[in-house]
Structure 1
Amino acid sequence: MLPLATVAADDESLRWCRSLALRAGASVVLAVDARDGAGLAERAAAFRSRDPRVVLVIGREGHDAGPLAAVVEATRVASLGADDAPRVVAAGSREMLSQVHEAVAGLAWERAMSPREDEGAGLVRRLRDLRGDEAGRLDRLERVALDADADDVLACEIDDDGVRAAFASRGTAVGAELPVGVGPSADALVRRAGARAVRRWLVGEVVPEVTLLRDRIANLSRFVVGAPRALELAIAREALRELIAAVRRDIGIAGIEHPHVVLLGGAFAQFAPAEAVAAFLDAAEPHGLARLQLGDSDAALVVVPANADRGRPLRIVDERGERPIHPAAGALSVIPTAGRAVVHAERDEVVAGSPALGVVIDARGRPLAIPDRDGERQTLLRKWAASWP
């Protein structure tokens, strides 16, 4: 991952920083709000301790460039005598760029187009280039989503290094990545979301306490060991959940909550179809009808009624004929199908060749309500698990 520091002095630019880092797959090690009133020494110490490779500075037309230049000055002070000083990438008004250039005083730096002019495409490309070869996985996932020959395609994958998603619609794909995955990077997931967030997905007679679970996950980064399947599934759920939440919050991709096709790869493709589909539904909480593909095979047709529509009938058509289905509000059900299957819901439909699981109807409601108390949560998780074949 590319260790990135972001600098901004207004709320809109701060959001742009988060969005660009997410789309580039950079790891934000330091986020500076130039309005925070911190002094030169304090800021320099922060840059020295976090050691970013790139400092991204985003300014806004009509705003004072002085605070941004002061933060860049702290970057320069922190880098005095260092052989690997960070590169400064700045985008904003001419006045801001001029002041930042003066503050850089010897650091490598470059101007970039304001993200407001091209929706951030230029800066995302530049940050991915600075990542090098490792950014290729995110580029590839965007191409996979675009090549699916459908609109509103969501492609997701997770591996030892991180979790990625790309949403393609009308010939355009937007990808995002977080450095939290199922192997050594799982420790970063605990630092980001907390061990409790992973623990809530574990079901069984003996679920480790938070402290013990934190140590077990930390060991994944210290030693070359694989996580037990139950823990790997819990980590995959929470990692994808973190990514989808960040995409909705910081990028705001229209349609990502209603994908028509879902492609699951990476570690998801190593799970059994029921495990992978369950993990996706729990993590992404989609709406509507979708065909879900696991690797190269159709895993399921997924139906997620809106909260107000959970009692409305559906029609399932396969080689055995047509069947009306009445989803029960709050229930999760799996209906086996034979051969080519079609699900009709009012004016929408979804088709799959021969889905391994058949049709999955998730009428649990949105957002998912997961109890905090262990006993109540375990009872609910067992009930959901019993729904799968």
Structure 2
Amino acid sequence: MDDTRAPGALPLILAVCSAGAAAVHFGVMPDHFGASWVHGVFFAAAGWAQFAWAAAVLVRPGQLLFLTGAFGNLALAVIWLVSRTAGFPVGPGAWTPEPVGAPDLLCALLEAVVIVGSLVLAERGRPSETSSGKSSETSGESSGGRSGERFEERSGERSVTKGKGAVVVVVSAVVAVAVGASFQPSFAGSVAASFARASTGQSAAVDPHGGHHHGGAPATPGAPTDAQITAADSLVQAARRETIARWPTDAAAEKDGYKVWTDSDGVRQLVKPAMIDDGVVLDATRPEALVYYRRPTGSSVLLGAIFIMPPGRRGPAIGGPLTPWHSHADPCLAALCQTGRTDVAGETEMLHVWLVDYPGGPFADAAGPALRTAVAKLPAG
């Protein structure tokens, strides 16, 4: 039975894996703070807890510490699994499953190693002290024989120690390279986008960085991060779930206080002016505007939602280049003229979220040809 009081290869490997998982949590923490402070605080706490556990294993390993590591990482793994199957209960896109990305998949794997390894070491427990005394059966051995045995034992221990050290070094290098590679856009972006498309069934065109292709200029340069891809897809899913259930027709929207903003060729945009300056941003339960198509038969279908910022304020680019806000110089486009306000100077930014198959992707700007194409694809009704 191994003595867990002196770190051997397995405790050191578990410390490396825990530190790797902490590095992943620290790496995605800024993006999650951008999406929601609740998400950011959670990832910061998880990272520091895993880093502290790794340090404790190096300083004072023990049965209680291993049990803490096993069940703590099990809790994190369960939370991750729930977020990918049912969705988080708080934040943007609550209860919307998130796509699997390369960093979080690696983090889950490292946590699984810590769980299994910690349970193995905890099962071994703290061995009793037997090495300090020898039974009397060895007392008659010659001093020369005992010296030879001790020399062989020391030589064997040195060989084992070198072997353990080599294993730990190799594992550390593999974990470090894996963590670094998972954050590379060419690797992480493509993996995350593949899982996102598979889980949501999206058929939108994909750009070389692993995100959707959108009309207009990108909100931020460069490739989207895993957190940005997650936030963008979560917003689409939340908008689809909330708006269709609440306002399936333009009549339902008008009954709830939305007013006609534009009406052209059957495409109707309805807006709630009071929501534009209410301090609520990107809430799928409170979209500032809705877009419908009214068929010649009189029935209507919801095409998408529009989130509108107050004049002069920039919209949060939660999806990076995936969620471009479109500027309009005329504040009356936001129906602010209907409110009687005079302090409406400045450009108005809007973010479209299309719930139907729309040319350019779910966040493309509204355009006549694209709208006609999207309408033409609608089922008859």
Give the TM-score taking structure 2 as reference length. 0.30
Q: Which has the larger radius of gyration?
A: 2
Between structures 1 and 2, the one with greater helix share = 2
Higher relative CO (Cα under 8 Å, sequence separation at least 6) belongs to 2
